[in-house]
Chains A and B, each alone.
Chain A
Amino acid sequence: MADRKRLQELFTAHAGQVIGFLRRRLGPGVDAQDISQDVFLRLLRIEDLSAIRDPQGFLITVANNLRRERMYLDGIARRRVRVSLEQAIESEPELEVELTAEASLDMQKQLTRLKSAVRGLSERDRTLLVMRYRDDLSYREIARRLGWASKSAAEKALANAVMRCREQFDHARKP
C-alpha cells in the first residue's frame, strides 16, 4: 500500500517528464512502412493544423495510437476462434506482452543492422551522432565543443550524418 502511494507520488512529480519522454518515442512494433498510409489519412482529417503545438510529438502520438489499435485488432482476429470479445479485452495485457516479444525479436535484428551501419560511417559522423543521440547535447552545445561558429553548422553536419547513417542502415536491411 505504501509502495503504491510512493509510486503515485513519484508519478505525479515526474508525470510531465515521463509523458514528454513518451511523446518523443515511437512504441515498439510501429512499422513505418505499414503505418504511413493510415497516419497520412488521419493527418488529412484534422481540420485545423495550426492548433498543434508540437507537430513531431503529435505525429508520434498518432502513429502510436494506430499501432495500439492494430495490435488490439490483430489480437482479436487471432483469438476470435476461441475467445469472446470480453475475454479478449480482459486478456489484452497478456496479448500486448506476447506481441511485444515478437517486436523485440525484430528489434534485436534492427539493432544488429544499425550497429553495422554505424561501423560503416566516418569517425566524424559517428562522433556527431554520439554527441547528439547518446550524450543528448543540443546543437549549440555541440557547436561550442567542436569550436564551430554557429549552431546551424552543427545542425547541418548532423543532418548529413543522420542521412548517411540511414543509407547504411537501409543498405544493411536489404537481403
Chain B
Amino acid sequence: MSANNTDDALRRATLRHATQWQMRNASDDLTAQEKAEFLAWLKSSPTNIKEYLTNLQMTQMLPRVLQDVQPDYQAAQTGHDEASNLVSLGLAATSRPRPRVLFRFALAAMVLLAAIGLSAYWHRGFSDIIVPHGDQRTVRLNDGSVVHVNSQSRIRIRFTRKERLIELTSGQGLFSVAKDPERPFRVLAGNVDIVAVGTQFDVYRKPGSTEVTVVEGRVSVASSGAAGSSQAPALLGAGERIKFSQSESTSRSEAVDVREATAWTRREISFRDRPLGEVADEYARYLDVPIRIEDESLRNTPVTGMFDAYEPEPFIAFLRNFEGVQVERTPDAIYVRSRKR
C-alpha cells in the first residue's frame, strides 16, 4: 500500500466517524451513553475535532447552495446507495492530487533556504553536516539529490566520480535521490549499507538498531554482521521497512505506514498503536525537556495520535487525559506517572 493510500484510508476513517457522529447528534434519540462516547471521541485527537467542525461548516452552508435544487424523490426512494461499500471499505471515489506535491514544494522551499547557508560546503570533496538537538536541516547536493537531516544527526558527504557516498554517523536522514544510473547513491549507517539509483528512503540510526524505510522506488540493503559475515543484500520496495538490530543476527522487512515514518519532515510525530514509552523517547529528540515515563506498564500502553513535534502542550494534555495518569512538570523534565491509589 502506498503512502497516499494509507494516508487516504486514515483520513477517510476519521471523516466517516465524524459524519456518523454528526448524524447521531442531530437525532432526537441521542442517549447519555452516546453523548459520553462522542465527547470521548472528540477528546482522542485534534484531527477528529477538525473533521467534525469542517463537516458542520459544510452542512451549514448547504441550505444556501441547495436553494434552487429540484429534489428527485423517485431517485432517492428507489436508487440504491451505490457507494455504501465505498464508505465501509475506504476505497477512493475520486482520486485527487495528494499533499505529496505540497510536501515537495515545502521541501523545495526549505532547500532554497538551506542552500544559502550551506553553499560553502559544496565545493569541498566531502563535508559534514551536523544538526543540533531541536533543529532540522535540508541540504541539496550537487547531483540534485536532497537530504533532509533530522534533529541530533550527523552526516558526512563523500562524492566521487564512481559513487555518491553518504555516511550517516548518527540520527536520521531522508534521502531523495536524483536518478543517475552511472553513479549509485550509497548510504552507510554503521554496518548497514544501502544502495539506490533514483528513489526516496529514510534511514534512522537508533542506539541499538538501524531502520531503513523506502518511500519511493527500490533500494538494496546489506548489513555486515559483527563477525564481518555479510548477508545477501535485501531488495526493498516502497512502503517497506527493514530493521537491523544489534541483538538479533537476522533482519526482517515489514510493511509500514510511510507517512508515519516521514512525519518528522513535516515536524509532526505520528504514531499508531505504539508503546507510550517509544513515543516519549521520540519526543525527546525535539523538546528541550525530556518526557520521562517511570512506570513500566505505562511505557507499554499503546497510543494513537498525531501531534506537533515541537509543541508538547497538546501531547501533554493528551497524556493527562488518560485514566489514572499524573503529569508533573519540572524545569528538567516532564514526568508521567501512574496515579497512586
| Band of interface residues on A | 35 or more
Residues from chain A with a CB closer than 8 A to the CB of B116 are none
Chain A CB within 8 A of B49 CB: yes
- Asked whether, in the complex, the Cβ of B87 is within 8 Å of the Cβ of A163, the reply is yes
Of B38, B54, B61, B64, the residue contacting A55 (CB under 8 A) is B38
- Asked whether, in the complex, the Cβ of A124 is within 8 Å of the Cβ of B69, the reply is no
Residues from chain B with a CB closer than 8 A to the CB of A156 are 23, 84
Judged by DSSP, the binding face of A is helix
- Asked whether, in the complex, the Cβ of A166 is within 8 Å of the Cβ of B54, the reply is yes
Chain A CB within 8 A of B331 CB: no
- Asked whether, in the complex, the Cβ of A111 is within 8 Å of the Cβ of B49, the reply is no
| In the bound complex, CA of A53 to CA of B22 (Å) | 16
| In the bound complex, CA of A111 to CA of B62 (Å) | 8
Chain B CB within 8 A of A44 CB: yes
Residues 75 to 108 of chain B near chain A (Cβ within 8 Å): 75-77, 79, 81-84, 87, 93-94, 96-97
- Asked whether, in the complex, the Cβ of B27 is within 8 Å of the Cβ of A155, the reply is yes
Contact with B along A43-61 (1 / 0, CB 8 A): 1110001101101100110
| In the bound complex, CA of A134 to CA of B63 (Å) | 5
- Asked whether, in the complex, the Cβ of B16 is within 8 Å of the Cβ of A32, the reply is no
Residues from chain A with a CB closer than 8 A to the CB of B50 are 32-33, 36
Max chain B CB contacts within 10 Å: which of A32, A41, A110? A32
Residues 4 to 27 of chain B near chain A (Cβ within 8 Å): 15-16, 19-20, 22-27
Contact with B along A114-129 (1 / 0, CB 8 A): 1100100011101111
Judged by DSSP, the binding face of B is helix
Of B27, B32, B87, the residue contacting A160 (CB under 8 A) is B87
Residues from chain A with a CB closer than 8 A to the CB of B82 are 122
Residues from chain B with a CB closer than 8 A to the CB of A40 are 42-43, 45-46, 49, 314, 317
Residues from chain B with a CB closer than 8 A to the CB of A167 are 15, 93-94
Chain A CB within 8 A of B52 CB: yes
CB closest residue in chain A, given B67:
A134
| A107 nearest CB across to chain B (Å) | 8
- Asked whether, in the complex, the Cβ of A32 is within 8 Å of the Cβ of B53, the reply is yes
| In the bound complex, CA of A107 to CA of B153 (Å) | 45
Contact with A along B50-76 (1 / 0, CB 8 A): 111111111111111111010111011
| A155 nearest CB across to chain B (Å) | 5
- Asked whether, in the complex, the Cβ of A43 is within 8 Å of the Cβ of B23, the reply is no
| In the bound complex, CA of A162 to CA of B51 (Å) | 12
Q: Given contacts A25-B60, A115-B65, A155-B27, is CB(A45)–CB(B83) below 8 Å?
A: no
- Asked whether, in the complex, the Cβ of A166 is within 8 Å of the Cβ of B53, the reply is no
Residues from chain B with a CB closer than 8 A to the CB of A63 are 53
- Asked whether, in the complex, the Cβ of B58 is within 8 Å of the Cβ of A169, the reply is yes
| In the bound complex, CA of A110 to CA of B16 (Å) | 21
Q: How many residue-residue contacts, CB under 8 A, span A and B?
A: 180
Chain B CB within 8 A of A30 CB: yes
- Asked whether, in the complex, the Cβ of B57 is within 8 Å of the Cβ of A174, the reply is no
| In the bound complex, CA of A102 to CA of B52 (Å) | 23
Chain A CB within 8 A of B182 CB: no
Chain A CB within 8 A of B224 CB: no
CB closest residue in chain B, given A175:
B97
| B12 nearest CB across to chain A (Å) | 8
Residues 276 to 323 of chain B near chain A (Cβ within 8 Å): 308, 313-314, 317-318, 320-321
Residues from chain B with a CB closer than 8 A to the CB of A45 are 317
Contact with B along A130-157 (1 / 0, CB 8 A): 1101100011000001111001000111
- Asked whether, in the complex, the Cβ of B96 is within 8 Å of the Cβ of A174, the reply is yes
Chain A CB within 8 A of B47 CB: yes
- Asked whether, in the complex, the Cβ of A39 is within 8 Å of the Cβ of B53, the reply is yes
| A88 nearest CB across to chain B (Å) | 28
Sample (14) of A-B pairs whose CB atoms are under 8 Å apart:
A32-B50, A36-B49, A36-B50, A40-B45, A43-B42, A49-B39, A49-B43, A114-B58, A122-B82, A130-B66, A146-B77, A155-B23, A159-B20, A163-B15
Q: Which residues of A contact B (CB under 8 A)?
A: 25-26, 30, 32-33, 35-37, 39-41, 43-45, 49-50, 52-53, 55-56, 59-60, 63, 107, 110-111, 114-115, 118, 122-124, 126-131, 133-134, 138-139, 145-148, 151, 155-160, 162-171, 174
Q: Which residues of B contact A (CB under 8 A)?
A: 15-16, 19-20, 22-28, 32, 35-36, 38-40, 42-43, 45-47, 49-67, 69, 71-73, 75-77, 79, 81-84, 87, 93-94, 96-97, 308, 313-314, 317-318, 320-321
**Which 9 pairs between the two chains have the least Cβ-Cβ distance?**
A32-B53, A36-B50, A124-B79, A123-B75, A127-B76, A133-B62, A40-B46, A127-B71, A134-B66
